[in-house]
Chains A and B, each alone.
Chain A
Amino acid sequence: MAQTRTEKIVIDSLKARGKKERNFRLFGVSAIALAVIFLAILLVSIVSKGAPGFFQYYAIFEVELTRERLDPRGDMSDQSLFEGQAKKIINEAVLEFTGAKNRSEKKAARSLLSNGSDVRLVEFVKNNTDKLDTMQKIKFALDDDADSYFRGFIKKETPEKQRRLSDIEISYLDKMKKEGLISYEVSDYLFFGSASRNAEMAGIKGAFIGSMFTLAICFIISFPIGVATAVYLEEFAPKNKFTELIEININNLAAVPSVVFGILGLAIFINLFGMPRSIPLVGGMVLALMTLPTIIISSRAAIRAVPPSIRDGALGIGASPMQATFHHVVPLAIPGMLTGTIIGMAQALGETAPLLMIGMVAFIVDIPGSVTDPGTVLPVQIFMWADFAERMFIQKTSAAIIILLLFLMIMNGGAVWLRRKLERRW
Chain B
Amino acid sequence: MRFSQLFTTLALSISIAGVAQARDQLSLAGSSTVLPFATIIAEEMGKNPSFKTPVVESGGSSVGKKGVCDGIGTEYIDIGNASSRMKTSELEYCDKNGVDLTEIKVGYDGIAVANSINGETLNISKADLGKALTAEIPQEDGSWIPNPYKKWSEINPSYPDIEIRVYGPPTTSGTRASFAEMVNQKAYCAKDELAKKASAARDDKKGKKCRAMRTDGAFIEAGEQDNLIVQKLQEDSLTYGIFGFSYLDQNRDTLQSAIIDGGGATFEAIASGDYAISRALYFYVKHAHVGVVPGIAEYMEEWTKHWGDDGVLADAGMVPMPADEQAKYKKAMSELPKLTADML
Known: A281-B16, A359-B27. A220 touches B312 (CB 8 A): no
Closest CB-CB distance, B255 to chain A, in whole Å?
10
Per-residue contact bits, chain A 191-218, to B (CB 8 Å; 1 contact, 0 not): 0000011100000000000000000010
The residue from B3, B13, B17, B224 contacting A228, defined by CB atoms under 8 A apart = B3
Name which of B17, B52, B74, B246 has the most chain A CB atoms within 10 A of its CB. B17
The residue from B6, B20, B43 contacting A279, defined by CB atoms under 8 A apart = B20
Task: Describe A's contact surface by its main secondary structure.
Answer: loop
Docked-complex contact B52 and A366, CB < 8 angstroms: yes
**Cα-based distance from A386 to B230 in the complex (angstroms):** 12
B-chain residues with CB within 8 Å of residue A75 when the two chains form the complex: none
The residue from A220, A274, A386, A389 contacting B75, defined by CB atoms under 8 A apart = A274
Q: Is A7 engaged at the interface, CB distance under 8 Å to the other chain?
A: no
Q: Is B47 engaged at the interface, CB distance under 8 Å to the other chain?
A: yes
CB within 8 Å of B: which of A357-381? 359, 361-366, 371-372, 374
Task: Describe B's contact surface by its main secondary structure.
Answer: mixed
Who on chain B is nearest to A273 by CB? B17
The residue from A197, A228, A276, A387 contacting B23, defined by CB atoms under 8 A apart = A276
Give how many A-B residue pairs fall within 8 Å (CB-CB).
Answer: 137
Docked-complex contact A164 and B252, CB < 8 angstroms: yes
Q: Is B77 engaged at the interface, CB distance under 8 Å to the other chain?
A: yes
Docked-complex contact B36 and A362, CB < 8 angstroms: no
Per-residue contact bits, chain B 1-45, to A (CB 8 Å; 1 contact, 0 not): 001001101100100110111010101010010011001101100
Known: A220-B9, A273-B17, A276-B75. A359 touches B55 (CB 8 A): yes
Known: A274-B75, A371-B16. A387 touches B227 (CB 8 A): yes
Docked-complex contact B253 and A154, CB < 8 angstroms: yes
Who on chain A is nearest to B252 by CB? A162
B-chain residues with CB within 8 Å of residue A78 when the two chains form the complex: 49
Docked-complex contact B55 and A363, CB < 8 angstroms: yes
Q: Is A300 engaged at the interface, CB distance under 8 Å to the other chain?
A: no
Q: Is B58 engaged at the interface, CB distance under 8 Å to the other chain?
A: yes
Who on chain B is nearest to A144 by CB? B250
Q: Is B46 engaged at the interface, CB distance under 8 Å to the other chain?
A: yes
**Cα-based distance from A196 to B251 in the complex (angstroms):** 20
Who on chain B is nearest to A81 by CB? B49
**Cα-based distance from A196 to B19 in the complex (angstroms):** 29
Per-residue contact bits, chain B 247-286, to A (CB 8 Å; 1 contact, 0 not): 1011111000000000000000000000000000000000
Between-chain CB contacts (< 8 Å), 19 pairs: A78-B49, A79-B49, A82-B48, A220-B6, A220-B10, A224-B3, A270-B75, A275-B20, A276-B23, A277-B55, A282-B17, A362-B56, A364-B53, A372-B16, A372-B17, A387-B58, A389-B250, A389-B316, A391-B250
Extra 5 A-B pairs, beta carbons < 8 Å, given A275-B75, A363-B57:
A224-B6, A362-B57, A365-B42, A387-B58, A391-B250
